[in-house]
Amino acid sequence: MTEIFLSFSADKLSQLSDRIEDCLSRLTYDQVWKRAGDHDNSIGNLVLHLCGNVSQWILAGLGGLPYDRHRDAEFAANGGVQPGELSRRLHRTVFDATVVVRNLDENRMLELVEIQKYNVTVLEAVYHVVEHFAGHAGQIIFATKLLTGEDLGYYKHLSQPAHHEATP
């Protein structure tokens, strides 16, 4: 069961990261950093936030890698990073995180860890990151649809007689 959970979690992070990277490739710099209001986050802010969250929770919290997070800066940024660079950062972060997740040992799943002042099990930490990532990926996908007026095509395979996507 552990192997299935960890494999699915890593696959889901990769799939969602690929979709965010696709969104970034469809958008201009101004669209990536557009905010509807002072209390809203841009797509750029959300990508920086996802990189910070995954790095803190998975790479540092579970993988033991050093990481000094500046969470407020993720939301305060108002540009300065091109969409291609955001895509590269996200890709690298998620790739590294999936390596950590896939290599977690079954014996660690109930181990308690403290991450961001939360005491959680390793299993809960992985679940939190995937759930959190999915929520923000949904926001980015929705915003991309609004900004481009396009159907992004992520589910067109469901209308075909057979499809081969392994992760729903």
The enclosing domain of 65 has a CATH number of 1.20.120.450
- 121, β-bridge pairs: 112
Would you state the pLDDT for residue 45?
98
Domain membership of residue 68 (yes or no) is: yes
Predicted confidence at residue 18, as pLDDT, reads 98
Q: How big is the chain by its Cα radius of gyration, in Å?
A: 17
Owning domain of residue 130: 2-159
**pLDDT tens string for the chain (168 positions)?**
999 999 999 999 999 999 999 999 999 999 999 998 888 999 999 999 999 999 999 999 999 998 889 998 999 899 999 999 999 999 999 999 999 999 999 999 999 999 999 999 999 999 999 999 999 999 999 999 999 999 998 988 787 776 666 777
Please report whether residue 168 resides in a domain.
no
28 within a domain of the structure (yes/no): yes
Name beta bridge partners: 119: 114
For residues 32 and 24, is the Cβ–Cβ distance under 8 A?
yes
Burial of 82 (0-12, 13-18, 19+ CB in 10 A): middle
Quick check: is 164 in a domain? no
Buried b (16+ CB within 10 A) or exposed e, 89-104: bbbebbebbbebbeeb
Tell me, yes or no, whether 166 lies in a domain.
no
Residue 16, domain member (yes or no): yes
pLDDT of residue 163: 61
Number of domains in the chain: 1
Assess if residue 167 is contained within a domain.
no
The answer to whether residue 102 sits within a structural domain is yes
